[in-house]
Amino acid sequence: MHKLNRAETLAWYHTYFEGLPQKAWKLNQDEEYTEYEVDFLRDTLDLKEGSRVLDVMAGYGRHALPLADLGITMTCIDLSKEYCDELQKISKQESLFVNVICDDILATSFEKKSFDAAYCIGNSFSFFPREDMQKFLQKIADLLVTGGQFAIHTENLAESIFPNFQVRNWMPVAGDITYLVQNEYHPEEGFIEAEQTFISGTEKVTHTVRQHIYTLGELNFMFQSAGLKVIGAFGNLEADPFMLGDEQLYLIARKI
């Protein structure tokens, strides 16, 4: 009988963000758009100097670093050691107070009511299957002070994906990286299994990932069950109401 090693028992996202995929994700980010997202978070979460904020799946800190520069006390958690090392290095160089935790949010312990606000921005919100998603939302609710707000972003909402579902796609990434994907939707369990391939010169990396697909109504129910009241669902950073076919969702909830 084959004995599973540690890598085989972990969810795919524990080992995804390293090497070529990690480099491709960073190169594909738009700095100007990130600035707009930072302004959006500051305004919608009512962040002020001294606010205690949790950045979930923070990556290399593209949102956390500019917020910390405004005097906001940032705690960042991410699974990628490469990202965490980079974030720690930059925050130290720029003398910014950023607490970096390299771990799984579901496995990390915090004191309750530790934060005034939290966010999960960057299309990583769909990593969790339904049972884990409910645990995640409950953990966020427990960590927020009463009235604290939580913002999420996803491009994998059912209302975004299915009107123009693509089985295969490819695109060039900045630099010499090419990204290819083949998608298969599993309706019984509500996830897309995708074979993603990154190619750069002679280097080729392939991962099989699962993105769990939720409807906005389903998210609304799950947030409410965790004690988080949805107060805004937007299709863009201009805060236009989310509509069927919008490519992304920005959702804001308040701890009841």
Same structural domain, 233 and 177: no
pLDDT, position 18: 84
Task: Report, as ranges of residue numbers, the positions in the chain whose pLDDT lies below 50.
Answer: 1-9
Per-residue confidence (pLDDT) for residue 134, from 0 to 100? 97
Statement to judge: residues 240 and 198 lie in one domain: no
Rounded Cα distance between 72 and 53, Å, is: 7
pLDDT in the model for residue 10: 67
pLDDT for 6: 38
Q: What is the pLDDT of residues 137-157, one digit of tens each?
A: 999 999 999 999 999 999 999
3 domain-assigned:
no
Residues 172, 100 share a domain? no
Domain coverage including residue 76: 13-155+214-255
Same domain, 140 and 82: yes
pTM (global) more than 0.75: yes
The answer on 131 and 250 residing in a single domain is yes
Number of compact structural domains in the chain: 2
Residues 102 and 189 in one domain: no
**Burial per residue of 73-98, b for 16 or more beta-carbon CB atoms within 10 angstroms, e otherwise:** bbbbbbbbebbbebbbebbeeeebeb
Of 224, 22, 240, 251, residue with least CA distance to 157: 251
Give the list of residues 6+ apart from residue 87 with CB closer than 8 angstroms, or none: 58, 59, 60, 61, 64, 65, 76, 78, 98, 100
pLDDT of residue 108: 94
Q: What is the pLDDT of residue 142?
A: 97
Instruction: Return the SS3 of 118.
Output: strand
Average pLDDT, the chain: 93
Q: pLDDT by residue (tens digit) across 54-103?
A: 999 999 999 999 999 999 999 999 998 989 999 999 999 999 999 999 99
Whole-number Å distance between alpha carbons of 83 and 228: 29
**Both 108 and 185 in a single domain?**
no
Q: Are residues 133 and 195 in the same domain?
A: no
CA proximity to 110, closest of 65, 76, 86, 68: 76
